[in-house]
């Protein structure tokens, strides 16, 4: 991986190539294992079954790669306000670096990304968090869910969380309908 410093890992070309390399490696190594097994006389369906965990992982790596690639390409095409392209670039970087950070093993496996480079990934990844944090609320506001659609005491637009939790709890049938438990069990217990 040609990255020399942590900023290099904010380049889509760099992280896309890492994803592409890893996906290709997982597919080819699993294919090689399949071939080994069949050439050593194992029946095809048995060989397949012995590779399914790696096959599933290769498929995930492929889809993850395509998702990162598609995100990066979509960001380049953004023609609306410059601020949007910038924040989307941050999000794309975060998504990609989070994928490398939380699946470090498969990227380190053949040394394509070195330990030192993984430190750079971690640094860039964590640097992005406070940057995006500033725009976190506007980024979710853009999803444009009404309070009724969210139907959540915690997520309302006006942020009146505690009032709403209390209000809704009072509407609960556990508060509005008398429970026979008192007459049947509690009262006799308390007046024993």
Partner 1 sequence: INPDIASERQTASFSVEKLMAWLDGSAEHTRIRRAVVEAIECDPVFSRENQYFQSQNERYEEAVKKAVHLQKKMQEMGWTENGPEYKYIYRALAGDVAFLLHRVFMRSISMLGSDKQVAKWIPLATQYQLIGSYAQTELGHGTYLQGLETTAVFDITTQEFILNTPKISAMKWWPGDMGRSATHTVAFAQLYIHGKCYGVHPFIVQIRSLQDHSLCPGITAGDIGPKMSFEHADNGFLMLQNVRIPRENMLSKFCEVQPDGTYVRWGSQKINYFTMTSVRISLISDEVITPVMKACTIAIRYSVVRRQSKLKPGEQEAKILDYQTQQEKLLPQLAAAYAFHLISNYLQELFDRGYREIQRKNFDMLPELHAFSSGFKAIITQYCTSAVEICLRACGGHGYSLLSGLPSLYTKILASCIYEGENTILLLQTARFLIKCFMAASAGQPVPPSVTYLAAVKPGK
- By CB under 8 A, is residue 24 in contact with partner 1? yes
Q: Among 3-11, 29-37, 105-113, 180-188, which window interacts with partner 1 (CB under 8 A)?
A: 29-37
**Comparing C-alpha atoms, which of 91, 155, 101 is closest to residue 129?**
91
What residues from 132 to 191 belong to the interface with partner 1 (CB under 8 A)? 132-146, 148-161, 164-165, 168-169, 171-173
Structure tokens at 73: 């390409």
* Cα distance between residue 22 and residue 13, in whole Å: 14
CB atoms within 10 A of CB 29: 15
Contact with partner 1 (CB under 8 A) among 6, 15, 18, 30: 30
Binding to partner 1 (CB under 8 A): which residues in 84-143?
Answer: 84, 86-88, 91-92, 94-95, 98, 126, 128-130, 132-143
Q: What backbone torsions phi and psi does residue 91 show, to the nearest 5 degrees?
A: -65, -40
CA–CA distance, 112 with 53 (Å, rounded to integer): 22
Residue 132 CB, shortest distance to partner 1, in Å, is: 5
């Amino acid at each position: 991986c040609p990255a020399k410093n942590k900023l290099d890992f904010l380049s889509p070309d760099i992280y896309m190539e890492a994803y592409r390399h890893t996906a290709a490696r997982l597919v080819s190594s699993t294919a090689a294992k399949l071939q080994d097994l069949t050439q050593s006389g194992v029946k095809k369906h048995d060989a397949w079954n012995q590779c399914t965990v790696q096959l599933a992982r290769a498929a995930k790596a492929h889809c993850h790669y395509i998702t990162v690639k598609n995100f990066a390409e979509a960001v380049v095409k953004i023609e609306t306000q410059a601020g949007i392209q910038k924040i989307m670039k941050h999000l794309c970087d975060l998504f990609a670096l989070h994928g490398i950070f939380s699946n470090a093993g498969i990227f380190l496996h053949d040394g394509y990304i070195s330990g030192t480079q993984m430190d750079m990934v971690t640094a860039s990844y964590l640097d992005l968090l406070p940057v995006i944090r500033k725009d976190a609320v506007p980024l979710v506001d853009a999803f444009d869910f009404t309070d009724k659609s969210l139907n959540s005491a915690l997520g309302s637009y006006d942020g009146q969380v505690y009032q709403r939790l209390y209000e809704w709890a009072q509407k609960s049938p556990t508060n509005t309908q008398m429970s026979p438990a008192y007459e049947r069990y509690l009262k006799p217990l308390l007046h024993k």
